[in-house]
Amino acid sequence: MAVDELDTRILRLLLEQPRTSVREYARVLGVARGTLQARLDRMERDGVITGTGPSLSPAALGHPVLAFVHIEVTQGHLDDVGDALAAVPEIVEAFSITGGGDLLARVVGRDNAHLEDVIQKLISLPGVVRTRTEVALRERVPYRLLPLVESVGRASRA
C-alpha cells in the first residue's frame, strides 16, 4: 500500500496526539472530516493502522523485569508451542525466527525469581527442547514508528 504525504501527516498526528478527535485532526490538517475518515479507514483496512488502544507499561503494572527468551522447539511442534505460549500471561510477544532458536518471546516478570518461574514453565511445555534467556538491562530506544513514518513520507515525495 502506498502511503502519500497526507497519509504521512495523518500518521504523524496519530502518533504525536493519539487522544485527539478526528474532527480536530481534520482541522489541523486543513482537510474535510470525510476525507480524513476515508484515509483512516483505508489505512486500517490495508493494515497500516493496526490498533487504537493505549500503550501500557508492564513495569507500571508491577512487572519491571524484561527478558527475551529464545525457544528451541522439536520439529513439527512449532504451532503447538506457539499456541501454548499464548496461555502464559507474562509473554507479551512471541515471534517465529531464524537463527538461534525457533521462537523469540518477550517476557516480563515481577522480579528475577518470577522470571525464572516463567522460564521453568516454558521449559516444561511439550515440544520445547531448550531456552536461552537474555535479560534487558535498560531500554535504549523505545518502541517508536515516527522516524519510519517520516522516512516513508520522504520517499513518497521523491
Domain count, the chain: 2
Q: What CATH number is attached to the domain comprising 14? A: 1.10.10.10
Question: Are 42 and 62 in the same domain?
Answer: no
72/89 Cα distance (integer angstroms): 20
7/43 Cα distance (integer angstroms): 8
Q: What is the pLDDT of residue 37?
A: 96
In a domain, 20, yes or no: yes
Q: What is the pLDDT of residue 1?
A: 62
User: What pLDDT, in 10s, does the model give residues 73-117?
Assistant: 999 999 999 999 999 999 999 999 999 899 999 999 999 999 999
Q: What is the pLDDT of residue 156?
A: 74
| Contact by Cβ (8 Å): 145, 3 | no
Q: What is the pLDDT of residue 52?
A: 83
Mean pLDDT, 10 residues at a time, the chain of 158 residues = 88 92 96 96 94 89 98 97 98 95 97 98 97 97 92 79
Q: What is the pLDDT of residue 51?
A: 86
Q: Where in the sequence is the domain holding 82, given as residue range(s)? A: 56-134
Q: Tell me the Cα Rg of the chain.
A: 20
pTM for the structure as a whole: 0.85
Question: Are 65 and 85 in the same domain?
Answer: yes
43/57 Cα distance (integer angstroms): 26
